[in-house]
Structure 1
Amino acid sequence: MSLLFTEGQIGNLKLKNRIVMPPMCMYSSDNSGELKTFHKGHYLARAIGGIGLIIFEATAIEPRGRISSNDLGLWDDSLIEAHKILNEQIHSFGAKTAIQLAHAGRKCNVEDETPIAPSAIAFSDNKPFKMPKAATLEDIKNIKELFVNAALRAKEADYDAIELHGAHGYFLCEFLSPLSNLRDDIYGGSLENRCRLLLEAAKEIKEKVDLPLIVRISADEWMNEGWNIEDSIYLSKELEKVGVDSIHVSSGGNQEKPNKPIELKPMYQADFAKEIKEEVNIPVIAVGLITTAQEGEKLLEEKYCDFVAYGRELLRSPNFAFLAANEFNKKELINSSYMRAF
């Protein structure tokens, strides 16, 4: 029996299998932030291909929160309807959807937008990165409200869950690290203070939006003096306390030039997921150069995680789940229209 094809649950959301498509920026919108024909084909293909949970790419909560001018956005009510229509189509194939709500912070590269960050520290001295404005307490309050409003729109658009982007060096992640957060108020200094914003944002979303909430974190920023797995374990426990339903464990992204050695090999981040899973009682999603059905099966069998996210592999092969089903002799899970290929 394959664990990869057993049912799973995140909060009250039931998933038909444990294969997750993680959020991957497609940079295929325009300044409007709208879903385009590309996105409709891209996500619908993975639903037809048998994925249990599809997490839409980083979707900005305000124009200043985009990584690029080609990012998706959910900062206005006018953007809801297209998402709602696409979700209805995806759901018809038995897949569930989440949307990753994001703010780029100091990594915003949009022309005519001034980035905002916990402290006035640029991500890089090189173009197109710009010096960010240090967020005031009023800015922080407003951005938390933007996250909640975007989550409410996601609910109206019929998403099954929300993922809060607290990883890869974007706004919420920047507050976590002592290298990018030099504040001397309640949002800076101690580990507790640096975690405060992400915890507050998660708590407010859980209180105001009736959907399961996933939080994606960078377990280690790959800097000897920076955010690390011990910090992430503390954060994950606190996220669980405020009602977060799952932790999605990635790493890196907050520093242009990491000074810890990184060996980019299959499942290179899975140990982080396992360490966090051992400390929390909510499901953990592992991600990071996982490419085969056997690798996913190993991670589940050995309790590294509860769900396996396949990123690059799902870019290469929208029907990865069918290939895995065939490998595990579960051909009944293959869409009948594709059966002749197996």
Structure 2
Amino acid sequence: MPALFEPLKLRSLELQHRGWVSPMCQYSCDPDAAPGVPNDWHLMHLGSFAAGGAALILAEASAVSPEGRISPRDAGLYNDAQAEAWQRITTFVHRHGAAGAKIGAQLAHAGRKASTWWPFSGKHGSVPVSDGGWTTLGPSPLAFEGYAAPAAMMAEQIQEVISDFAAAAVRAVEAGFDTVEIHGAHGYLLHQFQSPLANLRDDEWGGDETGRNRLMLAVVDAVRAVIPDSMPLLLRISATDWAEGGIDLPASVRLAREAAARGVDLIDVSSGGAVAHQSITPRPGYQTGFSAAIREEAGIPTGTVGLLTSAGQAEHAIATGQADAVLIARAALRDPHWWLRAAFELGHDIPWAPQYERALPRRTF
């Protein structure tokens, strides 16, 4: 059996293989009639991956509060209407997943990178209040380049964010999600607090590494406390800021080790996003080394993501011990049946939806 298609168990969640879908924002909620509520587009988008053979589908970043949305068109899990809409999607995935697909919620707060124009709006930067935007929040009043400056968060606002993550996690469980991932990467709020490039505070939520990691770990504790013991908890981090003076890999290993001790079951390893002046040379597998180091040195399962587009690349990452799972993003947008094709290319059979079985490559007519 190819390593990519070996089963994986996290707590009581049994996954049929290690090929997953990375969270990808769709910017497709109706900001006027149903803000933050996923709709038919999200059902089709995520459902296609279930039919395409994915073992675990991580849904797009769902904001834990209205001001936590990346854009006015982003999804949320901060009210019951959103949870009910998500339940329709989780039910569909469970019913029609070809490979017994499971689905996870990614909980997020965009912090100073919130209230931005969505990518296909034709506009850039922050959305003004007059156009449906809002004043953003951050650890310090430092703007992300090209965006409006955030308001520095007060201590009580930080506590509210922790509570918001916990409340959203409860809704995720009620909506039928199989796992929860905390988004602590890509320059969003938890990463902003973690990175010395965005956090200039001198109180308990800033300063040294312990202070800057405090919010991330407090959210981990709050979410772990409200989801079932049997449900795995995932944490996405940026392993490096790719910028002088920012987070580096040794710091991320230390964070991962602490997260594991607090009940995180897998670190979803990405990188970058804290600042616009980061220096990255993307190439296939450019992040797998981060995943491998965290897996080995922190002693926790990891997922890897980033320009892994072929079955061979994904197989190599798993077979060589660089990760326990490979998360596919843009390649899945190009081919929502990526996992069925990958299994065929690696000489392995996984279940197909019965409606599609006539297209099985091994059949002759």
TM-score range, shorter chain: over 0.9
In the other structure, the counterpart of 1:226 is 246
Is 1:101 paired with 2:122? no
Instruction: Answer yes or no: is the 8 Å Cα contact 2:137–2:152 preserved in 1.
Output: yes
Structure 1, unpaired ranges of 5+: none
In the other structure, the counterpart of 1:44 is 47
Distance 2:245 2:89 in 1: 44
Q: How many residues align?
A: 337
Matches within 5 A, 1:1-342: 1-31=1-31, 32-92=35-95, 93=97, 94-109=100-115, 110-112=127-129, 113-124=134-145, 126=146, 129-210=147-228, 211-258=231-278, 260=279, 262-331=280-349, 333-341=351-359, 342=361
Distance 1:3 1:339 in 2: 24
* CA deviation after TM superposition for structure 1 residue 312, in Å: 0.7
* CA deviation after TM superposition for structure 1 residue 307, in Å: 0.4
Instruction: Answer yes or no: is the 8 Å Cα contact 1:283–1:306 preserved in 2.
Output: yes
Q: TM (normalized to structure 2)? A: 0.90
Q: CA offsets, 1:78-129, max 9 Å, x none?
A: 22112112111101221101111110100012542110000000001x3xx2
Distance 2:317 2:350 in 1: 24
Distance 2:68 2:349 in 1: 43
Residue range with higher mean Cα deviation, 112-121 or 5-14: 5-14
Amino acid aligned to 1:277: R
Amino acid aligned to 1:253: G
Provide the secondary structure at the position in 2 that maps to 1:72.
coil
Q: Would the alpha carbon gap of residues 303 and 332 (structure 1) be closer, same or farther in structure 2, given more than 3 Å must change?
A: closer
Instruction: Answer yes or no: is the 8 Å Cα contact 1:325–1:334 preserved in 2.
Output: no
> Sequence identity of aligned pairs in percent?
40
Instruction: Answer yes or no: is the 8 Å Cα contact 1:325–1:333 preserved in 2.
Output: no
Distance 1:235 1:275 in 2: 13
Amino acid aligned to 2:251: D
Amino acid aligned to 2:70: I
Q: Would the alpha carbon gap of residues 39 and 332 (structure 1) be closer, same or farther in structure 2, given more than 3 Å must change?
A: closer
Q: CA offsets, 1:168-210, max 9 Å, x none?
A: 0000000011110000001111111110110011011111221
Instruction: Answer yes or no: is the 8 Å Cα contact 1:20–1:307 preserved in 2.
Output: yes
Instruction: Answer yes or no: is the 8 Å Cα contact 1:270–1:304 preserved in 2.
Output: yes
Distance 1:337 1:329 in 2: 22
Instruction: Answer yes or no: is the 8 Å Cα contact 2:257–2:300 preserved in 1.
Output: no
* CA deviation after TM superposition for structure 1 residue 332, in Å: 5.0
RMSD of aligned residue pairs (Cα, Å): 1.2
In the other structure, the counterpart of 2:124 is none
Provide the secondary structure at the position in 2 that maps to 1:286.
strand
Distance 1:54 1:111 in 2: 33
Amino acid aligned to 2:149: M
Amino acid aligned to 2:314: G
Distance 2:195 2:206 in 1: 9
Distance 1:99 1:8 in 2: 18
* CA deviation after TM superposition for structure 1 residue 257, in Å: 1.1
Distance 1:191 1:332 in 2: 45
Q: CA offsets, 1:271-330, max 9 Å, x none?
A: 100010002333200001000111111111110000001111111101011101111222
Structure 2, unpaired ranges of 5+: 116-126
Provide the secondary structure at the position in 1 that maps to 2:298.
coil
Amino acid aligned to 1:55: L
Provide the secondary structure at the position in 1 that maps to 2:342.
helix
Instruction: Answer yes or no: is the 8 Å Cα contact 1:3–1:301 preserved in 2.
Output: yes
Residue range with higher mean Cα deviation, 78-87 or 292-301: 78-87
Q: Would the alpha carbon gap of residues 80 and 115 (structure 1) be closer, same or farther in structure 2, given more than 3 Å must change?
A: same
Instruction: Answer yes or no: is the 8 Å Cα contact 1:116–1:133 preserved in 2.
Output: yes
Distance 1:335 1:204 in 2: 38
* CA deviation after TM superposition for structure 1 residue 242, in Å: 0.6
Distance 1:332 1:154 in 2: 28
Amino acid aligned to 2:324: D
Q: TM (normalized to structure 1)? A: 0.96
